[in-house]
Amino acid sequence: YQQNLKTYTIVKQLLAEGNAGELQKYFGSRMEFGTAGLRAAMGAGISHMNDLTIIQTTQGFCRYLEKNFSDLKKRGVVIGFDARAHLSSGGSSKRFARLAANTFISQGVPVYLFSDIIPTPFVPYTVTHLKLCAGIMVTASHNPKQDNGYKVYWENGAQIISPHDKGISQAIEENQEPWPQAWDDKLIDSSPLLHDPYAMVNKEYFKDIQKQCFYRNINKETNLKFVHTSVHGVGHKFVQLAFKAFDLSPPFAVPEQKDPDPDFPTVKYPNPEEGKGVLTLSFALAEKDGARIILANDPDADRLAVAEKQESGEWKVFSGNELGALLGWWIFTCWKNNSRDTRAIKDVYMLSSTVSSKILRAIALKEGFHFEETLTGFKWMGNRAKQLMDQGKAVLFAFEEAIGYMCCPAVLDKDGVSAAVITAEMASFLATRNLSLSQQLKAVYDEYGFHITKASYFICHDPKVIQQLFDNLRNFDGKNTYPKSCGRFKVSGIRDLTTGYDSSQPDQKAILPTSKSSQMITFTFANGGVATMRTSGTEPKIKYYSELCAPPGNSDVEQLKKELDELVNALEKHFFQPEKNKLQRKTE
């Protein structure tokens, strides 16, 4: 009995052809529910995102929440969605969100379902604002167009961390038979349990981010022009509203990319992290309209890329670490100069993930506030920020190098909307001092020490090869020995967060949580370099992140860059061995 004619037809066709290989791909293994929820291609079978797998996932999640919250039926959950859709399987973010809402409502749980597309940060915002038990965002962020995802937030407004993923995963296994009315999502429209938070959040969120607006008069007067692109995603309307909330003139929107389009027709990958390719149309519009700064959101508007036109006429695209340095400096400076916050500086915190630049550590040391590093991913920073805030601390800012920024305590996750408008205010303020963002970045490095970073990745589709590569690093000169050098660079410290080893700790045990299921080793070098190699949770990649931190006063940037380039070349040659391991390089 078919509920979705499109996926049914795909499977029927494969059966008729006797195509066992494809059927194995569709039905061989269920999507894994991890701390990032689900992320997979839309299509038929239990290995893909479709009506059935969404129903099963939500049934499991619902049962898990019932077990954890006695007041679930009083408080409820929030569900949001982006604009993704997949014609051939009939799947779309909106349809998945409605099916999920139907599952909860059938069990008497109130659901706050957004009636229209929203940025991902609106879901954690709503969880916190309405004190709900959980949140679900249906999005695949900046993944390729055929993908979708199911991202989960806990009652603290942060993404889930272990052991919730395992608990939910087990509950999904135990609740695979669709409940009686599982497919009939029209039932929700007449239910008194269905609420639409769209209007309320669109008012309250923009009120809350205004607490981060310090220079309204400058914003009103500035002649600085901005271009914004939402890369065929959800961001357009919300960034326009954010500019309005800060009294800034609206940014010029890239017309070909401002409306949501699940085909992402003008870009190869809808990921602003991939650099200049995604920004081609933005550069053209900026040249035409005389704009000096480009703000680019990814399709679910939780990330932000920024580019600035230099004196030379060239465009500089800031890395996530560079923008993290600028926003960290700016948010601290605003706190220091304008804050009505009476808390002492010893109660002020900033966070970044372990693979991000340590520039915040340098600023914190000099200015006297606290810096903490967390594991990779905003789930860790969001959860840690909440713990600190519950202890009465002020968490001003958190960031990760993958262009994610948390600039506003009302959202405990990365938020590309508030980051865009705060960057615009910072640029407008600097313009009154005749400074560009690039000049201010150099000033930050001059004051706190240059931090030069370089990151890339190799693609590898064979998990065995990845395992061998990391095993080799753990048994480099005989069993259980890590490398003592990398080419001409001497290794001075090793932290392995897969095994829990840390050579710098007295008991040689790492302080950060360890995870046997993912690979991650950090090497510290005698020259002040740091390099981390890790596997990706969502893509077939082995990533590396490297940084050279110089003390203030060492300003020979070209020499530092050359040194880091040589370190990275040695890392690739000796630790990755791309030829031997048949790794595919990141291609620009």
Which of 242, 424, 407 lies closest to 335, judged by CA?
A: 407
Is residue 30 within 8 Å of residue 46, measured between CB atoms? Answer: yes
Q: What is the dihedral of CA 555, 558, 561, 565, to 10 degrees?
A: -150
| Residue 453 phi, psi dihedral angles, 5° rounding | -125, 155
Among candidate residues 47, 89, 92, 141, the one labeled active-site is: 141
Contact 248, 221 (CB under 8 A): no
The answer to whether residues 398 and 351 touch, using CB atoms and an 8 Å cutoff, is: yes
CB atoms within 10 A of CB 489: 20
d(CA 20, CA 376): 38
* CA 399 – CA 344 distance, rounded (Å): 22
Q: What is the DSSP letter of 19?
A: -
SS3 for 377? coil
Tokens 């870009």, located at residue: 267
Question: Measuring CA to CA, which residue among 405, 408, 424, 427 is closest to residue 416?
Answer: 405
Identity of the amino acid at 529: G
Using DSSP's 3-state secondary structure scheme, residue 485 falls into strand
Q: Please tell me what DSSP assigns to residue 159.
A: B
Q: Give the separation between CA 298 and CA 228, rounded to whole angstroms.
A: 11
Q: How far apart are CA 223 and CA 293, in angstroms?
A: 12
Dump strand ranges (E) for 275-367: 293-297, 304-309, 315-317, 348-353
Residues in contact with 355: Cβ distance below 8 Å, sequence separation at least 6, in sequence order: 376, 400, 401, 455, 532, 534, 543, 545
Phi, psi of 293 (to 5 degrees): -130, 135
Annotated catalytic residue 141: yes
Residue with tokens 């509950």: 171
Three-state DSSP class for 81?
A: strand
Which of the residues are catalytic? 141
